[in-house]
Structure 1
């Protein structure tokens, strides 16, 4: 029996038809996955369902438990047991777990909170989601994985019947992801129905009963998990076969563009902790160089310390650009030397989310859109429009706020910002994190184009197949050391892991 049916849902924003006659049916007690490219309309559909976009702001019907619903807001949907957990968690870091769980849903009588009852119920809810932390623990002191479990406990406190999770494992490490998926299966056994938006096909295959694919705001297919293959899902998501997951490229590699020698970095706060030890690597003209390593290997710390000493202290070593010693001691000097760094955290460190696309694109090179120190708005618009077209940023115009773009399009804005500084070497830190297979393919194409222009590209990635598919050489890092390098012809996941395990614990 269908617990939920969404019939003919259409939603329009100024200049964009985000949803076009979408249908969705979710059975009682199942885990139903929704996938599609970034910008396909997945999150918009869930916001319609949960009342974020109220009845009257969209076309079509929501039928829940046999009744046609007209939710005026989130409170209406929550009263019916429909709870949504957004990708950006809605927790208050300075409040305790208990305070977060019952915020707006307090256990109170006569306006006075019953703290013993609150703490008792919090402990029971934490046990359900597998957390052993004390109810009084400040949420900001928990890791992201535990915070995600607190969000689910918060949903259970509201007597959830239909749980909606938007990219629940996007920011989680492997162990935390597995715990979360195990919990979803436990909740299913207890009768809770779940809708999970995800681009991680291996996770979907593990827990979902059925999958609905959305493309360009329309329903493409709904399939039983037993009947799907990764190739079928990708084809439905992007509208084409992706036999070649990585675009073809014939490297034209020239002289050395950048060389790093004897690079040492100490932790910014822990005085006795050295993060990078005697690192040395180089990048040639037209080359894509990968840096592989497990979580905590020091890859991001290496990149950020080189780029304007954005991380660390007591930094020693040399950066050579074009055979000459380069001063990269500040971000401005690093940019002037021909370096650019695309952070792994685009939303916090890469973008000003509430500013429009054009302001974000020109932010790192304001002199490029100014005359005699005065911003030329016409020039700024022209530059932003040029990159919007070149990068195929899907948006009605460059005055759209970046916060309203999908993850893949936000990443293209970050890339545009740094390309406008005209770098010789571009360091990309997890450039495809949190974006779907179609957007990944587009980012790979941009990287190939940069290499073809004679620039050097350094790619840091936690996905080994991505490094193997894109890079001409791969450096392997562990515990702050570069352990060795592998040419494309000799690199494999096994050889990378063998290097790491062979040298594990030798960086003391």
Structure 2
């Protein structure tokens, strides 16, 4: 293997949608035994470049070569045959099949006219062992957490004779221990000579793992750099085309007064929901952002879903403005001014094939019912006002929402919820998988919503983000609320200590 020659090389790549170029004259190289980060804002062309490499989109102009041989992939299946495997940010597996079936999907070992189940499960067990996972290959994928499903997707990708591995936001659903385990696997593959493209919005991970960085902006190549020679501030500036100092999130809001906390808009007492939440108390105050911090599996999502009516409460009571209420489902929650944005945009958020117009007005029309249709002119007027207010780009109401960048899809979801005029907004990982510029925009929008009187619950695995956005921080561990503290009294390090080691702090 010649490690001095690119294993994968893309030259002059251009992909057009109509008259618009999603990427234009882009060069990209991957060498054997390297981890190479592809960086850029949402909409910069990263996903298009990945799809062009893997055959999901045809090149209008340009040449793709693997190990010096010119290739023409017409489908991802062709790319797999050449040893190019991809794990996308949104998990593309089948939850109703077993772990082993998902890993072997499309290439199941045969025995006579049927599947060799024993061999398939044995192969899956060996592949999972490479990831340090002790998972029953016969178990249904859908019974596992999102984090485990992400690792199974990676196991599937490396189960072939992989030469090029493309990882699109592989750590977005993983906790610190799982990230460390994934990095171990990546480094092992690197030692074997696999060329790895690593796409992430976590700069710390890029600098820890990657040898080189390629930056795209507005579909064009900005540059290729050695990671160790590129300052972080220069990387951010290359991605954004403007000084990073221009990006400021709302940090001037102070914690609510004791009187406000004692009279919350919504309070939950002794909430128990499934195995994830044990007798939790929550107070959501007007004009306040309550950040929720906890490790993966701490109960963050379960608590949010229980309060908003997505999942059923086992025990406990919810009060709104001091009166006991029953929130029996999402529609019941909406009728009481409580709305929820899921951490999983793909399956519980954006409907990709529907237009921006339909996505924004969907919940409002559902709330009115099928026999009280909102006139099209009114729907367009309403949607256009939210597109303008949230700066959704491009401002095309008829464009399929699934074609927007991740940050703009998140804005469409926020517009859908805000169109309902809620009093409580519960946001579960609203900035996951979006770039630094869009992330700050979302954070600022959250601050503006709270300033306008909304009560916001903000869940994020990024502790720095929690402290930047929230006035108060609720710390969860093993389904138990450990404490609620003013954000201004915490640092990232002190919050991590509370999240990860509260027992030690109590000693």
> TM over 0.5, yes or no?
yes
Measure how far apart 1:83 and its partner are. Answer: 1.9
Which residue of 230, 234, 242 corresponds with 1:228? 230
Equivalent residue for 2:31?
27
Counterpart Cα distance in 1 of 2:501 and 2:355: 48
Which of 259, 265, 271 in structure 1 is aligned with 2:271?
265
SS in 1 for 2:277: strand
User: Over residues 80-106 of structure 1, what are the superposed CA-to-partner deviations in whole Å (9 max), with x where a residue is unaligned?
Assistant: 222222223443444445544443334
Question: Which stretch of the first structure deviates more once superposed, 359-368 or 44-53?
Answer: 359-368
Give how far 1:371 is off.
Answer: 11
CA distance in 2, matches of 1:267, 1:133: 25
1:311 corresponds to 2:317: no
Structure 1 stretch displaced more, 67-76 or 413-422? 67-76
Q: 1:326–1:44: structure 2 CA closer, same or farther, 3 Å change rule? A: same
Q: For residues 248 and 412 of structure 2, what CA distance do their matches in structure 1 show? A: 21
Following superposition of structure 1 onto structure 2, how do residues 388-427 of structure 1 map, counting pairs within 5 Å? 388-395=387-394, 397-427=396-426
Residue 482 of structure 1 deviates from its aligned partner by 3.6
Residues 59, 132 of structure 1: alpha-carbon distance in 2 compared, 3 angstrom cutoff = same
Task: Give the Cα–Cα distance (whole angstroms) in 2 for the partners of residues 225 and 178 of structure 1.
Answer: 20
Structure 2 distance, partners of 1:396, 1:266, is: 43
Report the CA distance between 1:475 and its aligned residue: 3.0
C-alpha distance in 2 between matches for 1:305 and 1:120 = 38
TM-score (norm 2): 0.86
Could you say if the C-alpha distance between residues 132 and 304 of structure 1 is closer, same or farther in structure 2, counting changes exceeding 3 Å? closer
Could you tell me whether the CA contact under 8 Å between 2:331 and 2:367 is conserved in 1? no
SS in 1 for 2:384: helix
Q: Give 1:213 shift.
A: 1.1
Equivalent position SS for 1:313: coil
Indicate if the aligned counterparts of 1:276 and 1:302 stay in contact, CA closer than 8 A: no
| 197, 203, 212: which one aligns with 1:210 | 212
Give me the whole-angstrom Cα distance separating, in 1, the residues matched to 2:96 and 2:280: 39
Residues 427-450 of structure 1 show CA distances to partners (whole Å, capped at 9, x for unaligned) of 222221222211111101212222
Q: List aligned pairs for 1:423-462, cutoff 5 A.
A: 423-462=422-461
Higher alpha-carbon deviation: 173-182 or 448-457 = 448-457
Provide, for residues 37-91 of structure 1, a one-character-per-residue CA deviation record: whole Å limited to 9, x for no partner.
122111110111111113xx52112122222222222233223222222223443
Whole-Å Cα distance in 2 between the matches of residues 133 and 429 of structure 1?
A: 27
Give me the whole-angstrom Cα distance separating, in 2, the residues matched to 1:426 and 1:113: 48
The Cα of 1:187 is off from its aligned counterpart by 0.9
2:41 matched to 1:42? no
Deviates more, 1:198-207 or 1:236-245: 236-245
Where in structure 2 are there 5+ consecutive unaligned residues? none
Indicate conservation of the 8 Å contact 2:141/2:149, yes or no.
Answer: yes
TM-score by length of 1: 0.86
Cα deviation per residue 1:384-439 (whole Å; 9 max; x = unaligned)?
12212221222362222222222211111110011101123322222212222111
Secondary structure of 1:374's aligned partner: coil
Q: Distance in 2 between matches of 1:336 and 1:93?
A: 32
Q: Any idea what SS the aligned residue of 1:358 has? A: helix
Q: Which residue of 2 aligns with 1:475?
A: 474
Partner SS, residue 442 of structure 1 = helix
> Structure 1, unaligned stretches of length 5 or more?
none
- In 2, Cα distance between equivalents of 1:478 and 1:138: 27
Q: Number of matched residues?
A: 498
Deviates more, 1:472-481 or 1:440-449: 472-481
